[in-house]
Amino acid sequence: MFQFKENCRRFIRSNPIGTISIGFILLVILISVLAPIIAPYDPVLQNRQSILIGPNGTHILGTDELGRDVFSRIVYGSRISLLVGFSAVVFSMIFGIFFGVVSGYFGGVIDMIVQRIMDAIMSIPSLILALFIAALLGPAIQNVIIALVIVETPRFARIVRGEMLRIRETNYVEASRSIGSSVFRIIWKHAIPNMGAPIIVLASLAFGQSIIAEASLSFLGIGTPPPNPSWGLMLSDASRFMETAPWLVLFPGLALALCVLAFNLLGDALRDFLDPKISSKK
CATH of the domain at 142: 1.10.3720.10
Taking 70 as the threshold, does the pLDDT of residue 54 lie above it? yes
CB 89 within 8 A of CB 148: no
Cα torsion through 257, 73, 237, 85, rounded to 10: 50
| 4-37 pLDDT per residue, tens | 677 778 878 888 888 999 999 999 999 999 999 9
Query: For residues 184 and 122, which has the higher predicted lDDT (pLDDT)?
Result: 122
Measured from the Cβ of residue 183, the count of other Cβ atoms closer than 10 Å reads: 13
Taking 70 as the threshold, does the pLDDT of residue 212 lie above it? yes
- Residue 138: left (phi > 0), alpha (psi -120 to 50), or beta? left
Q: What is the pLDDT of residue 2?
A: 55
Confidence class of residue 186 from pLDDT cuts 50, 70 and 90? Answer: confident
Mean pLDDT of 73-95: 93
Mean pLDDT of 57-68: 91
What percentage of the chain reaches a pLDDT higher than 70? 96
Q: What is the pLDDT of residue 277?
A: 54
Structural domain boundaries, residue 245? 2-281
184 closest CA partner among 114, 103, 101: 101
Total domains present in the chain? 1
Mean pLDDT of 232-249: 89
